[in-house]
Amino acid sequence: MSAPFSHRDIPARAGVGLKAHHYRAILESRPDIGFFEVHAENYMGAGGPPHRYLTEIRSHYPLCLHGVGLSIGADAPLDPQHLRRLAELLCRYEPALFSEHLAWSSHGGHFFNDLLPVPYTKATLYRVCEHIDQVQQRLGRQMLLENPSTYLTFAANSYEEGEFLGEIARRSGCALLLDVNNVLVACTNQQWDPLRYLDRFPMAHVRQIHLAGHARDVDARGRTVLIDSHDRPIDVAVWELYSRAIAVLGPTPTLIEWDQNLPEWPALHAEAARAEAHLLAPPHRKACRHAALG
């Protein structure tokens, strides 16, 4: 199923999710930061201030696009109009990386404002690989697939999550985006061991990392539930898992996601600086590299 794609490089540094709230601060201060990432669906309009600011920022920094609307895991064909708009956006900005979620968000012509889980079965595996093939052929590049934040396990599962993602990458030729916060969220909610999860994750396919904050709640049985909220600083347990992942991967492009309750730019930049300190700390300094997609 795999096909050759041109190589695109991004520095093995820390970046942040670009928000309109920070446009002016970024352009006025020109911070030393590795890259910015935007949600593709926020820039699918023809023009206006978002494109004006993004064009200016893109002229100074590497850019990544992160999709939330392809519905890769849906039991239905991909939306050709959405895929066309996505291809036009990638052509316009030439991002270093494009990623999407292992999830579904549409069914029967209806779109749900959520990233819903898929069962880890052979039928899902074949469908997701078919969709990824379609996306990669249409875009002319390799895409990255992100591990999900989940709150339940399907009884029908016949694969562990890491095994399932590894099979998708092997069959389709896609790469993986390791969201470390999602690892902690899923493992806490489903009572998995996060260290075992990371040890069994198909690290050879990882080309980018995401870090984010999460909220805590309690379920009806009094057990801790983590919510992938992206609305606060990164938890110490996520930083610890990140250090473990970097020890295996070496320096890898790392994004700070903060989508709600946005802080002022210096606080967000400080989170990126903390991630970069992890990336450059011994024993990784000698292993510093660029992540190339192929």
Residue 38 has pLDDT above 60, yes or no: yes
Count the domains in the chain: 1
- At 43-89, the pLDDT tens digits run 998 889 999 999 999 999 999 999 988 989 888 899 999 999 999 99
In a domain? residue 108: yes
Q: Cα–Cα distance between 127 and 119 in angstroms, integer?
A: 11
pTM, entire model: 0.90
CA distances from 182 to 194, 207, 220 (A): 10, 16, 22
Output the CA angle 30-31-34, nearest 5 degrees: 115
Q: Cα–Cα distance between 111 and 171 in angstroms, integer?
A: 28
Structure tokens at 220: 């009806």
Cross-strand partners of 227: 215
CB atoms near residue 218 (< 10 Å): 9
Contact by Cβ (8 Å): 267, 31: no
Q: Cα–Cα distance between 292 and 294 in angstroms, integer?
A: 6
For residue 114, the model assigns a pLDDT of: 60
Contact by Cβ (8 Å): 218, 224: yes
DSSP state of 221: T
Q: Cα–Cα distance between 213 and 19 in angstroms, integer?
A: 16
CATH number where 278 lies: 3.20.20.150
Pick left, alpha or beta for residue 268 (phi over 0 → left; psi -120 to 50 → alpha; otherwise beta). Answer: alpha
Nearest to 39 by CA among 14, 16, 18: 18
DSSP state of 108: T
Q: Which domain, by its residues, includes 88?
A: 8-293
In a domain? residue 61: yes
In a domain? residue 2: no
In a domain? residue 1: no
For residue 6, the model assigns a pLDDT of: 37
Q: Is the dihedral of CA 133, 137, 143, 146 positive or negative?
A: negative
Structure tokens at 63: 């850019």
- At 195-252, the pLDDT tens digits run 999 999 999 999 999 999 999 988 878 888 898 899 999 999 999 999 999 999 999 9
Output the CA angle 138-207-88, nearest 5 degrees: 25
In a domain? residue 3: no
Nearest to 201 by CA among 234, 173, 177, 185: 177
Mean pLDDT over the full length of the chain: 89
